[in-house]
Amino acid sequence: MSRYFIWTIGCQMNKAESQRIASYLNSVGYQIAVALQEAELVVLNTCVVRQSAEDKVLGTLGLLKGLKKERPNLSILVTGCFVDSNIEGLERRFPQVDFFFKPGAYSELASWVQKRSISTTEQELLRSPSMEFTPSKGLTASARRNDTGKPLLSSPCAFVPIIQGCNNFCSYCIVPYRRGREVSRPLEEIVCEVKALVKQGIKEVTLLGQNVDSYGHELPSNPDLADLLTELNGIDDIARIRFLTNHPKDLNQKLMGAMASLDKVCEHMELPVQSGDDDILRAMKRGYSVEQYCELVHAVRQRISQLSLSTDIIVGFPEETEEQFEHSLSLLEKIKFDVVHVAAYSPRPGTVAWRKYKDSVSPEIKKERLSRVEQLQANIATEINSTCQGRIMEVLVEGKKRGKWYGRTRSDKLLFFEESNECSGQLVKIKIEKSSPWALQGKVEYSS
Ligand code: SAH
Ligand code: SF4
Ligand code: F3S
């Protein structure tokens, strides 16, 4: 019996793909290892969105090289956005790696695993694969695994990719180069998968794509995200549906209408703005102005009351002046996002920004801008979250941490509470008593 360990770096898409790899390995007789040291097979799922993520990948590959010296039988597989088209080059640079496969190339993974099984005389594993595996469709996730592949028996949440790749080519971004062009999964296939997940006990699904607003445009019957949400909303026993990420240039009225009318679709949206300055937005090739973004937010907020809104901001884009940076701060003050993911610009080889501009903002200034955004946002989030105090909010309980149950509200806020009864996987009503910029705390509200 071989044991595997999945090491995931990167975004939710990678986490979803790691869940799928784990399900596949389970189905062909592998067992999850509790710790890296116990594994005979390690899958490293990688991210290169910024240099810091790539450095983490390189560090982990170094660590695995050491481990392989001690245990030559260890198999190392690498997938994710680190894997570019030059696989031979990667093989030369990283001889410790047994197999590289591109994100989502599950049929290649399957043939490699089958070959390994034969060479390790584990043929009996091949005779009874219990899992449905159609290379053209990819793998179906089985629920309840977290990003390290560890069984998470209580988690009622699952990620479901609906569209792969990206056609946008924002000037700073490496994702389209590593993930390729947009490919949507057929609507029926997604509905089937969600039904199967619900049978396994899943109560909340998060639909994933780099740009979920593009969903379906290249499929024969042209379904869109609103159509998909309508279908999923009709599935019994699913309690919540989320999706990310939206693109401000593509978000439309039909989707807003679906969000407003479908009861299971949560009041939360990730709408990355990236900058509050028009010249920077143009250089980023985002396809909208600050004014258009603000109008869009206004329209969504009018349709969906209680909407919680997250965004992404890049500071220190090439030639960003103090004044242009301050435009981003003003936008944060104006919109008052619930959550802001902020990152310092990192030049990515091969992108338009990397070719065209010098990385002109110094690391010190980037760091200073990062902390100014964080400070401002901490104040805004403190203010927003304090308005939750006294309210009753529903939480879907994901597990227990340091003696407290935790989960997320429909608005995607992290919430902690104490309760002696088992609460895992349940929807519980909580009266909010305390708040911080990052989380809420409260007590179970027993209905009389
Ligand atoms: N598709 C999404 C997000 C993709 S990448 C969107 O359109 O926004 C996730 C986030 O990483 C981005 O929103 C951006 O803020 C950040 N990011 C991407 N490339 C970056 C780079 N070169 N430097 C710094 N941050 C970057
Ligand atoms: Fe990258 Fe832009 Fe595509 Fe998002 S929309 S993945 S930022 S290219
Ligand atoms: Fe990273 Fe690729 Fe996701 S670069 S952010 S793992 S799409």
**For residue 271, which of 319, 307, 310 has the smallest C-alpha distance?**
310
pLDDT at 146 over 80: no
Looking at ligand 3, which residue's alpha carbon is closest to its atom 7?
175
Looking at ligand 2, which residue's alpha carbon is closest to its atom 1?
173
Mutational pocket test of ligand 3: of 13, 244, 351, the residue with most ligand atoms within 8 Å of the beta carbon: 13
**Closest ligand 2 atom, CA of 179?**
6
At 117 the pLDDT is 78
Closest-approaching ligand to the CA atom of 351: 1
Architecture of domain 155-266: 2-Layer Sandwich (3.30)
Q: What is the largest CA-CA distance in the chain?
A: 67
Question: Is the shortest distance between the CB of 171 and ligand 2 below 6 Å?
Answer: no
At 1 the pLDDT is 72
Question: Is the shortest distance between the CB of 210 and ligand 1 below 6 Å?
Answer: yes
Question: Is the shortest distance between the CB of 176 and ligand 2 below 6 Å?
Answer: yes
At 149 the pLDDT is 42
**For residue 248, which of 285, 280, 283, 279 has the smallest C-alpha distance?**
285
Q: Same topology for domains 3-131 and 392-444, yes or no?
A: no
At 407 the pLDDT is 97
Question: Is the shortest distance between the CB of 50 and ligand 1 below 6 Å?
Answer: yes
Q: Write the pLDDT tens digit of every residue in 85-131.
A: 999 999 999 999 999 999 999 999 999 999 887 776 544 444 444 43
User: In whole angstroms, how far apart are CA 365 and each of 10, 53, 216, 293, 345?
Assistant: 25, 20, 41, 26, 11
CB 239 within 8 A of CB 427: yes
In angstroms, what is the span from residue 373 Cα to ligand 2's centroid? 21
Domain-by-domain residue ranges, the chain? 3-131, 155-266, 301-386, 392-444
At 232 the pLDDT is 98
Question: Is the shortest distance between the CB of 163 and ligand 1 below 6 Å?
Answer: no
Element spanning 303, H or E: helix 290-303
In angstroms, what is the span from residue 126 Cα to ligand 1's centroid? 40
Q: Write the pLDDT tens digit of every residue in 217-229.
A: 999 999 999 999 9
Distance CA 383, CA 123 (A): 60
Phi, then psi, of 361 in degrees rounded to 5: -85, 125
In the CATH scheme, what is the code of domain 301-386?
3.30.750.200
What CATH class has 3-131?
alpha beta
Long-range contacts of 361-368 (CB under 8 A, 24+ apart): 361/315, 361/316, 361/317, 361/318, 361/319, 361/320, 365/316, 366/315, 366/316
Distance CA 370, CA 378 (A): 12
Q: At 274, list the tokens.
A: 């990236």
CB 307 within 8 A of CB 352: no
In angstroms, what is the span from residue 248 Cα to ligand 1's centroid? 14
Looking at ligand 3, which residue's alpha carbon is closest to its atom 6?
47
Looking at ligand 1, which residue's alpha carbon is closest to its atom 13?
312
Residues contacting 351, CB < 8 A, separation 6+: 171, 172, 173, 174, 177
pLDDT at 308 over 90: yes
Distance CA 9, CA 333 (A): 31
Higher pLDDT, residue 1 or 391: 391
In angstroms, what is the span from residue 173 Cα to ligand 2's centroid? 6
At 109 the pLDDT is 96
Q: At 387, list the tokens.
A: 């308005």
Distance CA 130, CA 23 (A): 10
Rounded to the nearest integer, the mean pLDDT of the chain is: 92
Residues contacting 355, CB < 8 A, separation 6+: none
pTM higher than 0.85 for the full model?
A: yes
At 120 the pLDDT is 66
Burial 293-303 (b: 16+ CB within 10 A, else e): bbebbeebeee
Element spanning 420, H or E: none
CB 251 within 8 A of CB 220: no
Q: Could you tell me the CATH superfamily of domain 392-444?
A: Nucleic acid-binding proteins (2.40.50.140)
DSSP 109: H
pLDDT above 90 coverage of the chain, percent: 89
In angstroms, what is the span from residue 49 Cα to ligand 3's centroid? 6
